[in-house]
């Protein structure tokens, strides 16, 4: 089966669209839904969210993902995920990130 140039371009466009990160406004809305009251930074938010995503992928427990992100990444679940993922050497950096997003000392 041979694809025409138009079909190939359409297929490539669909593939790239599926692999694209969520739009900026979706991440920003998530920032507010998590009750973050600090300064939004897309890169920082994505890095912290990735911790929770990786933790979810490890345990496949949907509630864990939400608990990890709850209250703008300030729960013990987030810290537990950092430990399980063996990223404790980055914990102080993550606390700085959380402080910026949360708008207060994270207390974790």
Mean pLDDT of 31-44: 83
The domains of the chain are located at 20-102
For the residues of 21-48, what is the DSSP string, one character each?
A: PPPHHHHHHHHHHTT--S---HHHHHHH
Residue 48: CB atoms within 10 Å: 21
CA atoms within 13 A on the CB side of 71: 12
pLDDT digits (tens, 9 = 90+) for 62-92: 899 999 999 999 999 999 999 999 999 999 9
Residue closest to 67 by CA, chosen among 95, 59, 90, 47: 59
Domain 20-102: top CATH class: mainly alpha
Residue 34 has pLDDT above 70, yes or no: yes
Report the C-alpha gap between 106 and 61 in whole angstroms. Answer: 24
Residue 59 has pLDDT above 60, yes or no: yes
pLDDT digits (tens, 9 = 90+) for 3-21: 454 443 443 343 434 333 4
């Amino acid at each position: 089966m041979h694809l025409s140039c138009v079909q190939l371009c359409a297929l490539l466009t669909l593939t790239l669209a599926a692999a694209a990160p969520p739009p900026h406004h979706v991440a920003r809305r998530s920032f507010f839904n998590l009750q973050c009251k600090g300064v939004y930074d897309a890169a920082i938010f994505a890095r912290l969210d990735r911790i929770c995503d990786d933790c979810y992928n490890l345990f496949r427990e949907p509630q864990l993902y939400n608990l990890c992100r709850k209250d703008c990444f300030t729960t013990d679940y987030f810290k537990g995920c950092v430990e399980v993922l063996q990223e404790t050497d980055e914990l102080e950096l993550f606390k700085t990130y959380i402080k910026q997003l949360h708008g207060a000392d994270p207390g974790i």
